[in-house]
Amino acid sequence: MKKLGIILTVMVVVGLLIFGYFRFYFVFGEGVKSGELNYVVYKGLFFKTYEGKLIQSGIRSKAAGTIQSYEFEFSVEDPELAEQLMLQSGRTLELHYKEYFGVLPWRGFTKFVVDSIISSERVQPEVEPETATHEVNL
């Protein structure tokens, strides 16, 4: 009877470890998101983490004739990368990220964790068309 209790306890502990690994440490997906970097901030009450938002322009929307904007919220684990991102605010970036099933408080507020900058471009300001001036003869 004692042996059965030990075997069940070991199986439960191993099961919880496997569940914890797949829930919080297994990389579910990887990808690249492109858009204009809105902000990167350092915040948190107990665990200070770097959080950011990338604005992606979209062409599909629910209402006809409108353009919808998509926001990609992410966390950053590496303080050096976060500092680089803070200096890139307002630029168009391509960011590589990893997606996890669960969120850990010391890793960030989101399940998307950016691990590198692939490219960075300056946002070109839109050029307003020249307005024609008409002379009025009085």
Q: List the chain pLDDT tens, one digit each, 138 residues.
A: 788 999 999 999 999 999 999 999 999 899 999 999 999 999 988 999 999 999 987 666 566 666 666 899 999 999 999 999 999 888 999 999 999 999 999 999 999 999 999 988 887 666 665 555 556 565
Instruction: Report the length, in residues, of the chain.
Output: 138
Pick 26-121's CATH classification: 3.40.190.10, 2.40.50.140, 1.20.200.10, 3.90.550.10.
Answer: 2.40.50.140
Q: What is the pLDDT of residues 106-135, one digit of tens each?
A: 999 999 999 999 988 887 666 665 555 556
pTM for this prediction:
0.75
Domain boundaries along the sequence of the chain: 26-121
